[in-house]
Copies of this chain bind each other. A is one copy, B any other.
Amino acid sequence: MGTQTDAPRRYHHGNLREALLRRAEEVLAESGAGELSLRGIARDVGVSHAAPRRHFADKQALLDALAEDGFGRLAVALDASVGDDGRPFVERLAAMAEAYVGFAVGHAALLDVMFTGKHRPGVDASLLAAGARAFQAPLALVVAGQASGDVVPGDVERVATSAWAAIHGLASMANAGLLDAEALPGIVADTAERLVLGLRPRG
């Protein structure tokens, strides 16, 4: 269903860009990326089919904007989840894993948009930055873990990547419908636990 108000249609919408993004994300959440059409959201917002072009050069530009926004919100969610430094490493990692997977299943289609075509030639720099920013959270967690002796020393980026892949994999598989939604929380907890064991310094 559309979202346009019956308000007196002014010629200038006033905040079309934001309105389009909002509606686009609704469509994404309701019907998936396949159903998203520029003309469709233009209709829903109550504007002509060519109006979006003023704000997004092409469809991909809109998707990129959605992705960037998504990474921003993901970063916030991850930062919020991990809590302060005082908590034990195990707990912090479990909390962050839960937050990540939670975001993923809560915004399945958006996650797809976020993770497809980042390597596309000529991606917007701000999108890449937003992605990097989101991945700062797990990175910081690994740094803290190394400092507290909970994580094997070594190249932080590498350790963090390897570790976070486990969580991302869970998210990705859940997203694809391969994981029983009901069993998911338990599996996430299990994975986090085993991750801690795998990351522990030897000896």
Contacts and interface: CB of A to CB of B under 8 A. Distances in A.
Given A112-B116, A177-B118, A199-B194, A170 B169 contact: yes
Q: Give the bracket for the number of chain A residues in contact with chain B.
A: 35 or more
Centre residue among A116, A135, A167 by max chain B CB count within 10 A = A116
B118 A176 contact: yes
Contact of A168 (B172, B194, B196): B172
Contacts of A161: 173, 179, 187
B191 A162 contact: yes
A195 B197 CA distance: 9
A70 interface: no
Nearest to A162: B191
Interface in A187-202: 187, 190-191, 194-200
A165 interface: yes
A187 to B, nearest CB: 6
A131 interface: yes
A133 to B, nearest CB: 13
Contacts of A135: 178
A10 interface: no
Contact of A187 (B131, B158, B170): B158
